Copies of this chain bind each other. A is one copy, B any other.
Amino acid sequence: MTTEHRTANAPAPHASGSRQAHDFFAVLAGRTATRRFTGEPIDDATLDRLVTAMLAAPSASNKQAWAFVAVRDPARVRRIRAFAPGVIGVPPLLLVACFDGSRAPDDQRMPEVGVLCVAMAVQNLLLAAHALGLGGCPVSSFLAEPVRRLTGLPEHITPVLVVPIGHPDREPQRSVRRDDSEVVRYERW
């Protein structure tokens, strides 16, 4: 990745352990879906920062009914990817984000609500990745059973999103969005 592929707020990956400031609103505005990656690996310190950011998400009734498997082994990434057509490039990190059905078994609404918390954790992960000069995207198009088998998930843990993360191999393109007035109304619809 050449320097012109980074914004002022996305430091080089080797700076990820530093105390360099990452402006919050620039990170939010700059994040885009990244689907193709260089071959550069993700080191332990960077993975730790991503995991810490991810787990800082809100959790309904603080049940933390979630479970995550971080896969970096290239052979396992490729095997999972074979069942996840939404994963286009070969990422150095594949984060399998799951709902843990054992955490509030008597709460009938928990499956519906728990997946929202998983999604919020994934958004923290994607934002943190962008802040560290990485990219990724949430992928929902995958076959749950093969992913479950390849990551050794027990019955009560269900994969919700698969998230490829890595160093972008090109300048990310911003997607065209609907006009704000189409999707936000004030006081009533």
Chain A residues packing against B (C-beta within 8 Å) = 9, 21-25, 27-29, 31, 33, 49, 51-53, 55-60, 62, 64, 66-73, 76, 100, 109, 112-113, 115-120, 122-124, 126-128, 131, 137-138, 140-141, 150-154, 157, 160-161, 175-178, 180, 183-189
Residues on the B chain within 8 Å of A141, using CB: 109
Copies of this protein in the complex:
2
Interface of A is mostly: mixed
Beyond the given A58-B138, A120-B123, could you list 7 further A-B residue pairs with CB under 8 A, ordered by the A residue number?
A: A24-B24, A64-B183, A68-B184, A71-B186, A115-B115, A115-B116, A116-B122
Known contacts A120-B138, A138-B60, A189-B157; A23/B25 CB under 8 A: no
Asked whether A24 and B131 contact (CB < 8 A) given A177-B64, A188-B152, the answer is yes
Q: CB-CB < 8 A to A21: which residues of B?
A: 21, 23-24
Q: Are B71 and A126 in contact (CB under 8 A)?
A: no
